[in-house]
Each structure stands twice: as structure tokens, then as C-alpha cells.
A and B are shown apart, each in its own frame.
Chain A
Amino acid sequence: MKGNSYLSRKIHSLLGVIPLGLFIIEHMVTNYSAFEGGAEGFSDSIKFLNDLPLVFFLELFGIWLPLLFHGVYGLYVAYQSNVNTGRFQYGRNWAFALQRITGVITFIFVFWHLYQTRFQVMIGEVKHEELGNLMHDIASNGFYFVLYIIGVLAATFHFSNGMWAFLVSWGITIGPRAQRISSFIWMGVFVIVAVMFLLSLGAFRGDEFKEAASAALQLTNLV
């Protein structure tokens, strides 16, 4: 990595919050509509997102490019760290190691998840209305279901603990008390976000997603 590593690391840190952290929250809310509003709620949420103005640029600058930078530079950051939790078994040191491990898991998971969903839409294999059905197929497969659970837990931990670290590395939480309170808050956020993602993942297994999607499919077939 050439140039000033201070700047690269700061950009890495900032992108993790804006836009990627915001995106995780947005994604959680969209998915949760599957749990709360069923198939209809979920397709309404997707429609809302697709109706956003300049959606192509929003996706490019709000997700793709930040994701690429944060992911690739993050792998470099992980490569630069040792794991010494054997010698120093402190909670924060575990969080440090887990931040890097979950980062790598999230990197792999996100690329694979994008391939299964967004990429299929892009190449025209799947329509936006059929995403609920696609997720139903994925979540109903026991093997994928377990991998998704692991991926979701890794991503949400990485997000929550990353937020804790962001507040330290930008000099917002300075003293030990501020940092301790912050860690309670962000571990709470981890639990809430993880539970919401997992509830929606469970909801996708429901039959209504199959039916709704096949109805949509039939409709398109008729037309």
C-alpha cells in the first residue's frame, strides 16, 4: 500500500460507517418487512428501494465502491495483525481478533450473497419481484440456511464492534468509562440487529414466499 496509510485507514474507517453501516441498517429494515409484512411487505419494500431516484448511482457510490474499498483494504488490515488471544485473554483483545476474523467471513459471505441475489438480477435470471421466492429457496436449503446464519452473525458483529472502534479512532469516546459504556451499547445493537436479521431469514422459509412468488411467476407467464 503506497501513499499515506493514515488517510487510507481513515477512509476505510469512515466508509465502514457511512455508507456501509447505514446500508446494513437499511438492509435490516427491508428484510424485517418480510417478517412483519410477509411476502407483500417485502415486495413493497423492494419496490420502494427500486423507485428511489438515481438508484444506479446510489448503488454505485453508496454500496459497490465503498464495499470494494472497505473490503479489500480491510483484508490488508487483517493481514497486518497478529492474533495473541492465547497470551492475552482479555475481552477487548478477543473483540480485536474477532473483528478481523468476522471481517474476512463477511467479505466472503457478502460476495457470495451478492452473486446469489444481486448478480442474478443483473444478468436477468431473476426479477426484483421474485427475490422473495429466491430467498425462500435459499433459506429453505438447510446448508445455505446455516451459512447465512454464520454470515449474518459475522456481519452484524463486525458492524457493531466496528462502530465501537470507529468512535475510539476518531477520538469521540476517549476515557475508559466512555469506552465501556459504548461497548455495552454496541453489544446491545449487535444483539438487536442480529435477531432482526435472523427473524427475517426465518420468515423467508415460510410457504407464503413460495406461493406469492409462483403467483407472480404465473402472472408473468400469462402475460
Chain B
Amino acid sequence: MAETTVASKTVKLIITRQDAPNAQSYTEEFEIPYRPNMNVIGALMEIQRNPKKKDGQATAPVCWESNCLEEVCGACSMVINGKPRQACSALIDKLEQPIRLQPMSTFPVVRDLVINRERMFNALKRVKAWIPIDGTYDLGPGPRMAEAKRQWAYELSKCMTCGVCLESCPNVNDRNSFIGPAAISQVRLFNAHPTGEMNAAERLETLMEDGGIEGCGNSQNCVRSCPKGIPLTTSIAAINKDTTKHLFKKWLGM
């Protein structure tokens, strides 16, 4: 008896679709049976199982990406009811219906909700967001990190390169070469590390080139959108200070 009442409850979705990277996008409406505790990924899996539009017509199943299903990999990021976020932590019960799903179109759309976040990984390479410890001989143990510093640096290390901050930033677009907030915060993380600090100047210098930190216009949407609560605007301002200092030091030949 309970089953019949549950089965009559449905979830309505409006999904922006795109068949190929350069194809025109279009929307399709879906209505799927509701299950308790469902998330957006669950809804997409339901559509995959039974790829029919709301009007009953068959359609190609909707494509999306996901891995961890616990908001740590960033693969499932998409625009849900107007806000960029992770589909795996977006619970149907907490969303207004019809639920609108769109790809994060700041990035190149591969298909439907699948996007290509390569520019973020390139940005991390550009700023050398790692700690170089490889050598031809044993370099010995590095300097220790103070516990208080480790604690705030840990917050920065939670970044999963999901791209939500870039999607929310009005200065990340095809007229602007801005690297985006995530990579700048990673520079702060690796420059704070006692070993990483040894390459601090190099990282700052890449941010003082075209498309570097100068692209930040302080809309501060990023810090409000980051699912990991990373203090992005504080990182950007701190790196502003470091780059400014670096600029003056270079001018003065210090």
C-alpha cells in the first residue's frame, strides 16, 4: 500500500543537453519516480536506466561524470538550479522542482553535462602547484612545519579542482585570460610549505604574467561558491601582497 503512494510521487527535471562539443544546446524535460534520499546523480542514473522524456518519447540517455560520490573528486560539478555545485551532494529533497541541470559552460562542454576541466590542470602546472623533492641524491628531511600553519594550510589543500569557483567568476570567460581563483589559492598553499617555499618566487612570477592574479576583479563570488569553504579571497589578497612585495623587491634590485 505504501508503495503505491510512494510511486506516484515524481521528480521533474529540465536538463540542458548538447550532443557534441560544437553542437547547439537544447533542453529536455524528464519526470522520474521519486525515491527517498535521492540525489541528482541518482536521478541521472534513473534516466539512464529508462531514457524517456516527460512526454514518454525515447531519447539518448543523459551523460554526466562522477566518481567519489562524496564531494571530494569534483567530477560531478554542474549548474543545479542556477548555482554551480556537485551533483552527488545535491539532495532532491532540498531542491526546488523542476530541477534545472546545466553544464558549467565556462568550460568546454564535451557532451550534455560533461565538461572538460583541462584548463584547471594546466593552471596548476603553470604555477608549479607541487613541491619539488626529486633529485639525484637523498636531500635529507625537509624543515618542519609549525602546527598552527599546518592547520590553515590544510584548509587550502581541500581543493578538488572542481571548477565551481571559475564558473562563478565573472572574469573567467573567453575575453579574459584570468587563471581563476583555485590556482592562486594553491600558490598560497605551496608557498606556505617550508619546502615548497624554496620555489615561492617562481610561483609568484607566473602569477605576475598575462592572465595571472591581475585578472581578479574582486566580485568574491568564488569564496561564496566553493563547496570546500576555501578562503579564496583571503588567499588572493595574501598573494596580492606577496606579488606586490616581489614587484618592489625586483624593482629595487633586492
Contacts and interface: CB of A to CB of B under 8 A. Distances in A.
Interface of A: 4-6, 9-10, 77, 79-84, 87-88, 90, 92-93, 95-97, 99, 165, 168-176, 179
Interface string B194-235: 000000000000011111111111111100110000010110
A136 B65 CA distance: 66
Given A80-B171, A88-B224, A170 B213 contact: no
A10 B247 CA distance: 10
Nearest to A83: B170
Contacts of A10: 214, 247
B237 A93 contact: no
Given A6-B209, A93-B220, A169-B218, A174 B234 contact: yes
Interface residues of B, number: 40
B241 A171 contact: yes
A81 B216 contact: no
A30 B236 CA distance: 38
A171 B237 CA distance: 5
18 contacts: A4-B209, A5-B210, A5-B214, A6-B209, A6-B210, A6-B213, A6-B243, A81-B217, A83-B170, A88-B168, A92-B220, A96-B217, A97-B170, A168-B218, A168-B237, A170-B240, A171-B238, A171-B245
Q: 10 tightest A-B contacts by CB?
A: A171-B241, A96-B219, A171-B240, A9-B214, A92-B220, A174-B237, A80-B176, A82-B170, A6-B214, A93-B219
A93 B221 contact: yes
B234 A175 contact: yes
